[in-house]
Amino acid sequence: MQRILEALGWRQGSFVKPETVAKLIGDIDSTFTISANNLLVVASQSCDVASSQEEYIELSIVRPLSAEAFNKQYSHNRHPRILHIEANSNSSDEKVILELKAHEKIQIKKSLLEEFKPDSSINFLEGNLNQYIVSSK
């Protein structure tokens, strides 16, 4: 199973497609409200995604923001609990602004991702993946 996820391209920082989020919502046992407008991004380290010792994968809940809602005080890990970060969207030339909150994480069984590929239409800007990794700990 774990090698399947690795072969499909799942790594730390991989985004879950919105349509996949919509399919997974019923299988997610969470105290947080997750809507189809939210994105999910893999918070687990890539070695844990590939490991046969780990049954679950941890995902951060991501909320797209308008450019006006971007707050510099939440960027570059200046705030210990909230991160505003830019990502590339392959569907448009514009950058996408995302909000992540440190406590808003969920765990799902890895097997739930076996039939899905990561969302290749969005990815962290170079250097921003490291900001996410630091903030997701």
Q: Quick count: other Cβ atoms within 10 Å of Cβ 42?
A: 24
Domain that holds residue 129: 2-135
At residue 134, does pLDDT exceed 70? no
**pLDDT tens digits, one per residue of 1-42:** 558 898 999 999 999 988 888 888 776 766 667 777 889 999
Give the number of domains in the chain: 1
What mean pLDDT is reported for the chain? Answer: 84
**Per-residue pLDDT tens over the stretch 63-80:** 999 989 999 999 888 888
Query: CA–CA separation, 93 vs 57, rounded Å?
Result: 31
Q: Quick one: tokens of 53?
A: 């010792």
Instruction: Output helix, strand, coil percentages for the chain, rounded to the nearest 5.
Output: 30, 30, 40
What pLDDT score was predicted for residue 30?
65
Residue 117: pLDDT over 90: yes
In angstroms, how far apart are the furthest CA atoms of the chain? Answer: 43
Residue 4, exposed/middle/buried by CB under 10 A (0-12, 13-18, 19+)? middle
